[in-house]
Amino acid sequence: MKVKQFRDLLVWQKSMALAREIYRITRKFPKDEMFGLTSQMRRAAVSISSNIAEGQGQLTDKSFCLFLTRARGSLYELETQSELAESLGMMEKTELEQILSSCKEIGRMLHGLLNSMKEDAR
């Protein structure tokens, strides 16, 4: 699959929006979580779009696929951390639902991109 720039990928654009939302939400977390859950969630959120961008910059589709699977792993990590944050009272239920909805959409897009790349490789 040939993409001119990672910025052209809708999944990258959506993952950037998710990262911005995570930063907005985690600003309200307790200060004693700055180096705990706040940091973990921000790193996981940033990692999604970063892995998509880094993977697209690789020389082979096989490498790109590897980075897309890493992005998916970071996505699942963020889902888990978000559920924990909500259960600890750091995040509203509506915020969690919004995050999980975005994660589900991005997950479907990553899955579709991975499948299309595998088909292109055949």
Helices (H), 1-121: 10-26, 37-56, 61-87, 93-121
Per-residue pLDDT of the chain (122 residues), as tens digits, is 455 789 999 999 999 999 999 999 999 999 999 999 999 999 999 999 999 999 999 888 899 999 999 999 999 999 999 999 999 999 999 999 999 999 999 999 999 999 988 777 65
Take residue 96 and report the two structure tokens written for it: 């969690």
Q: Which amino acid is at 73?
A: G
- Which residue range is the domain that position 25 belongs to? 6-121
Take residue 75 and report the two structure tokens written for it: 């996505």
Residues in the chain: 122
CATH assignment at residue 95: 1.20.1440.60
Take residue 8 and report the two structure tokens written for it: 């052209």
> Is there a domain that residue 60 lies in?
yes
> Is there a domain that residue 15 lies in?
yes
Sign of the dihedral defined by the CA atoms of residues 89, 94, 99, 104, in that order: positive
